[in-house]
Amino acid sequence: MRVFFIGVCGTAMGNAAILLKKMGHQVAGSDAGVYPPMSDVLTSAGIELFEGFAEQEMLTWHPDRVVVGNAVSRGNPQVEYLLRSREIDFVSLPQLIGEDLIGNRPTVVVAGTHGKTTTTSLTSFALSHAGQKPGYLIGGVPLDLPSGNDLGGSKSPFVIEGDEYDSAFFDKRSKFIHYRPKVLVLNNLEFDHGDIFRDLQDISRSFSHLLRIVPSDGFVLRNGDDPNLMALPAAPWTKIISVGVGEENEFCITDFMEDAKGSRFGLSWKGDPVMQIDWNMPGLFNARNLAMASLASVLSQQICKASKPFDFEGNNPFFGTSLPDFSECAGVKRRQEILHESEQLVILSDFAHHPTAIAGALESLRARWSGREIIACFEPRSNTAVTNVFEDRFADALALADVGLLGAVHRAEKIPKDKRINTRNMIQRIKDQGKSSHAFSTNQELEDFLKSYPFLGPALVVFFSNGSFDGVIGRFAESVNEM
């Protein structure tokens, strides 16, 4: 089959295109701004690339099927041709993944507001170690796996992030509905994606729809410490397992500690110790990611080897299954990634773009880098972060640092002023909590401020953004490395 991707250079689109190519299909794609590193990865996989969305280029390639990316909207010339002519079958990316890449394999779907990419990567790593040859599709760059995608065995588990965002301009269902989970991981649930969800109740409704398609011989692993998840409707048709710090959880994280040497904690099943972890990945949030990943991997192993549904009641699922040594796991690129480390200055890049994630990261950094002045740089960039929905919560999270630097609001001109995040208000709220704060009209101004900042002692600069921060992160780290 000849498959054409409109918007191929997105991480998920690119990885899916590569997997289709590995399956033996002919694959090509178009995008606006075809540039490295994704262009190099796609080209090396034998995927033909077209710059822009010219209708004739797609037609000349003669596709049998077209995959329309989530970022593609009406007005795109190739999309308009598909709608006008009705000559070529087209689908959303999630539908393609569910039908062509996953098929009838047992799926581990990792959902939640935070931690999806890391948990998906750790689960895939654990299953690979156990010899399960999993398929996986990861929306980032995993540091413990050869790449962010793998077809895996034809009957092996397939591990994928379950994003709650909508599937395409013509399919407003959440992406995760297409993946039909056998093992569903629910890490957490908060309001996000304010451009498509009205409020927490609206987004919770989408998660309740996901619960409805977990089969009777499947499993739901939920964060038992999250009140929003616990408030979801009951799902008596399947087995629900709670994971967390509280003693009421069946799978518990115990004795968590973090300092300059790393993080240490235990995992126990109904009071029985399973393993002790001593690793460099930061924060209680990553301990929870690992707990979810390890349990998801052993349940997947039980599902794959059982000739009948696994008899969960009274059994410890960890018996007879394999888990790797997680001590050297590094997680995913751009999750508290160290760009520079010296006695005087540490520079980190973090993908966090939600106030809860930023607060958790800063609490971890304070424990890990005790005694350093922490300077937190935040770029309001995501569709929710650029609005004033979380304005106060972002300010309170950044106040956990010693200095909060606020970059330019991404595409501010597209957000009505009465709904746009106000960085000046945030400055005042941070200062009211006894911390220093500055806001900048451009990210270049923030970079210039950092380069002239009077570091009086050991310091840590952390950048929070789900984008490039207009190149500030790389340029600042490079300027320090050249000193």
Mean pLDDT of the chain: 93
Residue 318 tokens read as 């960890």
Segments of the chain assigned to CATH 3.40.1190.10: 103-328
H or E, element range at 481 = helix 472-481
Indicate if the pLDDT at residue 219 is higher than 80. yes
User: According to the model, what pLDDT value does residue 353 have?
Assistant: 83
Residue 252 tokens read as 């518990």
Instruction: Give the pairing type, strands 459-464 and 345-350.
Output: parallel
Q: What is the pLDDT of residues 450-475, one digit of tens each?
A: 999 998 899 999 999 988 899 999 99
Are 38 and 32 in contact, with CB atoms under 8 Å apart? no
Give the pLDDT band of residue 39 (cuts 50, 70, 90).
Answer: confident
Residue range 200-206: average pLDDT? 95
Residues 6+ positions from 441 with CB-CB distance below 8 Å: 408
Q: How far does Cα 344 stand from its chain's mean position?
A: 31
CA–CA distance, 359 with 362 (Å, rounded to integer): 5
Give the pLDDT band of residue 139 (cuts 50, 70, 90).
Answer: confident
User: According to the model, what pLDDT value does residue 309 have?
Assistant: 61
Q: What is the pLDDT of residues 5-35, one digit of tens each?
A: 999 998 889 999 999 999 999 999 999 977 7
CA–CA distance, 477 with 462 (Å, rounded to integer): 11
Segments of the chain assigned to CATH 3.90.190.20: 337-481
Query: Which class is domain 2-92?
Result: alpha beta
Residue 390 tokens read as 């979380």
Are 385 and 406 in contact, with CB atoms under 8 Å apart? no
Indicate if the pLDDT at residue 430 is higher than 70. yes
Q: What is the pLDDT of residues 70-102, one digit of tens each?
A: 999 999 999 999 999 999 999 999 999 999 999
Residue range 337-362: average pLDDT? 92
Residue range 185-194: average pLDDT? 92
**242: helix, strand or coil:** strand
pTM: 0.91
User: According to the model, what pLDDT value does residue 314 have?
Assistant: 64
User: According to the model, what pLDDT value does residue 308 have?
Assistant: 60
Are 358 and 393 in contact, with CB atoms under 8 Å apart? no
Q: What is the pLDDT of residues 379-400, one digit of tens each?
A: 999 989 999 999 999 999 999 9
As a whole-number percent, the residues of the chain with pLDDT over 70 amount to 98
Radius of gyration of the chain (CA): 23
Among 82-91, 191-200, 223-232, 276-285, the minimum mean pLDDT is found in 191-200
The CATH H-level (homologous superfamily) assignment of domain 103-328 is: Mur-like, catalytic domain (3.40.1190.10)
Helix/strand/coil (H/E/C) assignment for every residue in 420-474: ECCHHHHHHHHHHCCCEEEECCCHHHHHHHHHCCCCCCCEEEEEECCCCHHHHHH
Are 80 and 59 in contact, with CB atoms under 8 Å apart? no
Residue 439 tokens read as 């806001």
Q: What is the pLDDT of residues 304-348, one digit of tens each?
A: 887 566 666 667 888 888 899 999 999 888 888 999 999 999 999
- Phi, psi angles (nearest 5°) of residue 421: -60, 135
CA–CA distance, 477 with 466 (Å, rounded to integer): 17
Segments of the chain assigned to CATH 3.40.50.720: 2-92
Q: What's the topology of domain 337-481? A: Protein-Tyrosine Phosphatase; Chain A (3.90.190)
User: According to the model, what pLDDT value does residue 239 have?
Assistant: 95
CA–CA distance, 346 with 342 (Å, rounded to integer): 6
Alpha-carbon distances, residue 472 vs 97, 266, 444, 445, 451 (angstroms): 35, 39, 7, 10, 11
User: According to the model, what pLDDT value does residue 94 have?
Assistant: 97
Are 147 and 71 in contact, with CB atoms under 8 Å apart? no
Indicate if the pLDDT at residue 483 is higher than 90. no
